[in-house]
Amino acid sequence: MTPQASPWSGVPLTDERQPLCLVVAPGKPRWEELAHRFCVRVREYTRVEPEQRRPEQLEETDWQRYHLILFGSILDNPAILRLYARHLCFTDAAYPGIGGAEARTLWNPLANGRHVLLLGGSDYEAVHEMVIQLHRSFSEVTYWREGIFFLRRLNFAASTENCRWTPSPAELERILEKAKADPTLALGLAADYALYQYQSDEERWSEVLPQVLRPALERPVEEWCTGESSLLALWHLITAWNLAVTHPSYTDPFREQIAEFLHRVGEAVAEAFPSLEGIDRATVTAGLFLHRLGRFWERFRGTNPYASHTEALRRLLIRSDPGRRPDGLRDWLVVDQWLSFLFEMEAYDVLEDERLRELALEAFALTDNRQEPVISRADWEHAQNVLLKIAAFLDSGEPLWLRRWMRRGEPEPLYSPDRPRWSWNWYTGAYVPDRLPTPPREIPRLFRSGKPTPALVALRADLDPLNEYLALWGPGLSLRWLTWRGLPWLQNGGWKEAPSELRRVWTAELDGFGYLLLEGEGYRRHLLWRVGHFFALWERRDPELAERWSGLWEFASGVRVEEMEEGLLRLRQEGGELWMGTDRPRWDEWPAGAVETTTAWSPYRSTAGPRPSGLSVQLGPALCGLGELKLDGWSVSAEVACAVGRRLWAMGFRELRLEGNRTLRASRPIDLSLDRRTGAGLIRTPEPVLLEWSGGPERETEHLEPGEYRSTFLILGGSEESGGQEEKEE
């Protein structure tokens, strides 16, 4: 299979009467002027001037009627982004980069018989200089044949910032020895080297590639159909080879050798995955490999033997909730592939804002407040890809005006540990806009994702690296990670998944307090959190379920646990100390018949345990109560309440009773914060609510719509000037 290897292959510009190409340049004066000069240059040779358009004027039929001459990059030319999303070009902000430019002939990229000439780059001055040089040599790169004026096939790139790694003979020999022992590694390296060659336009990579690839070509094809890593390597190879195959430094016999290998492997994978059933890593990766292999054949042979697999992949992935594993967690590789496929197929209608924001929150929570991943590095990289793709899509409405994400510094390579070279995120199309919001500023401290059953709740500080971070995950939202004061304390928390599905989930945040309620059959879990002060966790369970619950805290490395007394632990590590109070007789086991359990963390000595009036915990100056809190003649009925000095916070508040038969009631649960001395408070309600307050025989009511209100309650001693009136906050 030799794609257009004849010496006269190129892009038809005009015939003797009419233009055969369309020139598309960004709608900025200097870009339009540069494109116009190209059109004039063609007219000087043919007396026919091509039509020039802006990207927004390009219609779908133009892709079928004309060969295209594209100026710019995906930052300013959406027509280039269409090719970029299909992994057919590389022109973004990072490549060819500052001072870089490229002239590429993309042979039949959309398999419609039309070619593209890309005069690309994000640095206008560099592209301008390249086009001027093209004009000076126009007679050498153009020719007439059978009444058609052609521009010869071009493959030129000048990049000052990419692929400057030059392996020494010893390094190359060491790499080849590793590749001989591992065909999957060999295939992955071959994909990377093909892209290095494309980026740098240096022929030495085309000399190294056959040597690295040889062990993979000799491997039995049926072995490529088993194992996630083998399928990923195949997917990367077809992605890279689809981009680099037309480079003139490759010989026709070598192209034929790879084509034969892809043909045999494609048939074996298609036989192993005939129907693409189930969203798992192997199935989705196999489907993507066959999808891109089919497009490769369609480009160069005019037929797609895997069209049915593309349709099956479409049915599999055109959905709004991808990549959920049986344990309720996300498979971030699958989610990454899902987004890549949707962008490639331009299936933007599937990308619901609410679902994308939930995915973004989940991906963001995988990095703790020390900016360290809390999952494996490979999964975390895919989660970062997902986060940046979603940010780009939500930023623009469609993934336009984007650039490829290049991580800070030199990233680790995918297959070889020898040296960092380049970001392989391009394989899955990790985009990011120039206006990417700073995630900690854009995401609240407390958030939940997943409906109706949440998959994640994460609590974290906004920007202070010395503050806390906690994440609960999975169908039962078991505690997974805890960092405090910039140090890790817990990992893979010991509460196992809930024994039944959740019936109700409620989250609230008010004046620095966060609250979470989980309710299922036979159990309730409450979490109260105050920024920078403490976490408190209550469990209430049916005794019959007690034996189904077990757990063991897995503390982070470096944490020393000292049992000070029954139910009180001191956790210590270099640079910090944390107290953990619990009402469990043994801190590492659940009591066999317990109905109520409390665990609390704070930077000061804490106590926890049952009280006659509900379940409460004393955390330094804070007294927290579950269900009911009594103090100084006050009785507060709420899901959870906390008093610190004169301040009171109540989440899920229902009733307040004071001496003298003074009461404040809410017809449905609300969140309340107030000053016990002045009566000044803050109310937040997600639903319409009726408030009723009374002081002896007097009674007043107020109907509140959903929202947030500041009020002063006279029954608590508020001033007459405030009048008890609520002021809604926008």
Q: Answer whether 384's CB lies under 8 Å from 430's CB.
A: yes
Bridge partners, residue 116, by sequence: 68, 106
Three-class SS of 10-76:
EEEEEECCCECEEEECCCCHHHHHHHHHHHHHHHHHHCCCCEEECHHHCCHHHHHHCEEEEEECCCC
When pLDDT is cut at 50, 70 and 90, the band that residue 490 belongs to is confident
State whether the Cα torsion 399-402-408-414 is positive or negative.
positive
Q: Does pTM top 0.85 for this prediction?
A: no
Bridge partners, residue 598, by sequence: 538
Beta-sheet strands, E only, within 153-278:
155-158
pLDDT of amino acid 416? 39
Of residues 545 and 286, the one with the higher pLDDT is: 286
pLDDT of amino acid 653? 92
Nearest Cα neighbor of 392 from 97, 93, 58, 90 is 93
| Mean pLDDT estimate for the chain | 75
Region of residue 485 (phi > 0: left; psi between -120 and 50: alpha; otherwise: beta): left
DSSP letter string, 559-581: -EEEEEETTEEEEEETTEEEEEE
End-to-end CA distance of the chain: 65
Nearest Cα neighbor of 694 from 641, 658, 652 is 658
Average pLDDT over residues 461-465: 42
Q: Is the peptide bond before 399 cis (omega within 30 degrees of 0)?
A: no
Distance between CA atoms of residues 495 and 550, nearest Å: 7
Compute the radius of gyration of the chain from its Cα atoms: 32
pLDDT of amino acid 477? 61
When pLDDT is cut at 50, 70 and 90, the band that residue 729 belongs to is very low
- Residue 387: how many other CB atoms lie within 10 Å: 24
Distance between CA atoms of residues 671 and 658, nearest Å: 19
pLDDT of amino acid 697? 66
Distance between CA atoms of residues 177 and 160, nearest Å: 31
Q: In terms of DSSP bridges, do strands 689-695 and 502-510 run parallel, antiparallel, or are they unpaired?
A: unpaired
Of residues 332 and 486, the one with the higher pLDDT is: 332
Distance between CA atoms of residues 571 and 484, nearest Å: 11
Tokens (6 digits) for 699 = 């009674």
Q: Answer whether 234's CB lies under 8 Å from 184's CB.
A: no
Distance between CA atoms of residues 559 and 577, nearest Å: 9
Q: pLDDT at residue 429 above 90?
A: no
Q: In the chain, count of helices (H) and strands (E)?
A: 16, 35
pLDDT of amino acid 457? 58
Contacts of 257 (CB under 8 A, 6+ apart): 217
Average pLDDT over residues 11-34: 95
Strand order, beta sheet including 456-460: 446-449, 456-460, 469-473, 478-484, 487-491
Nearest Cα neighbor of 359 from 456, 284, 468 is 456
Distance between CA atoms of residues 33 and 547, nearest Å: 77
Characterize 242-279 residue by residue with b for buried, 16 or more Cβ atoms within 10 angstroms of its Cβ, and e for exposed: bbbbbbebbeeeebebbbebbbebbebbbeebeebeeb
Each residue of 146-201: pLDDT tens digit? 999 999 988 888 776 555 566 777 888 888 888 888 888 888 888 888 887 887 77
Each residue of 290-307: pLDDT tens digit? 999 999 999 998 899 999
Q: Is the peptide bond before 452 cis (omega within 30 degrees of 0)?
A: yes
When pLDDT is cut at 50, 70 and 90, the band that residue 502 belongs to is low
Contacts of 141 (CB under 8 A, 6+ apart): 134, 151, 152, 154
Average pLDDT over residues 77-92: 84
Q: Answer whether 676's CB lies under 8 Å from 647's CB.
A: yes
Contacts of 488 (CB under 8 A, 6+ apart): 368, 370, 372, 481, 482, 556, 559
Proportion of the chain above pLDDT 90, given as a percent: 23
When pLDDT is cut at 50, 70 and 90, the band that residue 422 belongs to is very low
Amino acid letter, 396? S
Q: Answer whether 97's CB lies under 8 Å from 161's CB.
A: yes
When pLDDT is cut at 50, 70 and 90, the band that residue 47 belongs to is very high
Tokens (6 digits) for 341 = 């496929």
* The length of the chain, given as a count of residues: 730
Q: What residue spans of 524-679 are helical by DSSP H?
A: none
Contacts of 565 (CB under 8 A, 6+ apart): none
| Run of H or E residues at 172 | helix 169-181
CA geometry: angle at 574 spanning 573 and 576, to 5°? 70
| Run of H or E residues at 357 | helix 353-364
pLDDT of amino acid 52? 96
Q: Answer whether 423's CB lies under 8 Å from 406's CB.
A: yes
Amino acid letter, 105? T
Q: Answer whether 102's CB lies under 8 Å from 120's CB.
A: yes
Average pLDDT over residues 451-473: 53
Tokens (6 digits) for 625 = 């109560």
HSE at residue 91, side-chain half, CA atoms within 13 A, is 35
